[in-house]
Amino acid sequence: MKKAIEKLWLSFNKARVLYLLVLPSLIFFIIFTYFPLFDGIKISFQDFKFVGKSSYVGLKNYIEALYTPGFWRVFKNTVIIGFSNVILTAFIPMLLAVLLNEVKFGIWKRFSQTIIYLPHIFSWVIVGGIWIFILSPNAGLINAVRSFFGLDPIYYMAKEIYARPIIIGSNLWKQSGYVCILYLATIAGISPTLYEAAMIDGAGALKRTLYITFPELLNTLKIVLLLNIMGSLRMFNQIYVMRNEVIARKIDVLMYYVYERGLVQFKIGYAAAISMIIFSLTLIITLISKRSLKYSI
């Protein structure tokens, strides 16, 4: 027994420096990830109070969530906006990458890649701010063009019918350059011998694209779909920036709902229960899509 402890101490001592090096990261994850995760599970079963004792209420918060129309409304918005984002931001950049790859003039190719990637590094405050201004009836670019043609201005951000297309469109504007570069890098990695062989067999450019480039992009497409799915479920910043009371009904998503209920109205227990529902959903969807996409990297 004593010997075993001594041996344990010896191997601990040997790795002493390694423990010190990894310590900040472990402390961080314990305080800011693991503790909140378990605390969140606990809070979701409580009528949580910052001051005084919080009492356990069982499944009340979960049941309340499932019977609140507000919850199902944001759930529906998340599904509609999320699904559109997943599909559009995967396939449109793919098409663009194939087109961009056909450009032979090096400087122009590099320039266009540089430009379309740019919006990706801007925050949603910036991108949202730009689009709110451009769509504004107050000297916004689109309405300036309309008035140039003698048309009346439209207040796009205050019309329910435009709300979701604007959210989906501005997301596409922000993210497509980034996704496009993922595809371009894959295309650059396709072995040229494949194309040469096809050329000898008499396949034209269109056939080469259809039968070589697209199939080779399949793996990247899976990764992009998975990234988009994860991104859609955690969507918050864009809605926080671009929403207003007039269009809120059409675009408020799950994470915004959690924020509003929990940290604006301070229904902490209720919001924690909804977070837990979203988290379980995310896990399930991720596992299913990883399996069905045969995610293998």
Partner 1 sequence: MKRTTIGRGLFLIINNFVLIALVLTMIIPLLNVLAVSFTTDMESYENTIKLFPRQPSLTGYITLFQRVAILRPFLNNIFVTVIGTFLHVVFCAMAGYVLTKENFLGKAVIAALIIIPNMLPFEMIIIPVFVTVKKLGLMDTLWSIILIKVISTFSILLMKNYFEGIPKSLEESAFIDGAGEYAIFFKIYVPLAVPGMTTITIFQFVALWNQLLPAVLFLNSPEKYTLQIALKSLVVSQELTSTTQSVANNTRMAGIVVAIIPLILLYIFAQKYFIKGIMVGAVKE
25 contacts partner 1 (rule: CB under 8 A)? yes
Among 59, 63, 103, 199, binds partner 1 (CB under 8 A): 103
CB of 82 to partner 1, least distance (A): 13
Considering the rule CB under 8 A, would residue 218 count as an interface residue with partner 1? Answer: no
Smallest distance from the beta carbon of 120 to partner 1, in angstroms?
9
Rule CB under 8 A: choose which of 63, 246, 284, 288 binds partner 1: 246
Q: Are 167 and 81 in contact (CB under 8 A)?
A: yes
Rounded Cα distance, 176 and 178, in Å? 5
Q: Which of residues 109-128 bind partner 1 (CB under 8 A)?
A: 111-112, 114-119, 121-126, 128
Distance between CA atoms of residues 76 and 240, nearest Å: 17
217 CA to centre of own chain: 21
Number of residues that bind partner 1 (CB under 8 A): 106
- Min separation Cβ 72 and partner 1, Å: 19
| Contact characters 132-151, partner 1, x per CB under 8 A | xxx-x-xx-x-xxx-xx---
Alpha helix positions (H), 69-140: 69-101, 106-117, 124-134
- As a whole number of angstroms, the distance between CA 91 and CA 86 comes to 9
* List of E strands, the chain: 46-47, 55-56
* Residue in 59, 151, 185, 210 binding partner 1, rule: CB under 8 A: 185
Smallest gap from Cβ 141 to partner 1, in A, equals 5
- Segment 44 to 83, residues that bind partner 1, using CB under 8 A: 48, 50
- Is the Cβ of residue 19 or residue 56 nearer to partner 1 in the bound state? 19
Q: Which is nearer to partner 1, 35 or 72 (CB)?
A: 35
- Determine, following the binding rule CB under 8 A, whether residue 160 of this chain makes contact with partner 1: no
SS3 47: strand
CA 209 to chain centre: 29
How far lies 3's CA from each of 6, 7, 8, 10, 254, in Å? 5, 6, 9, 10, 56
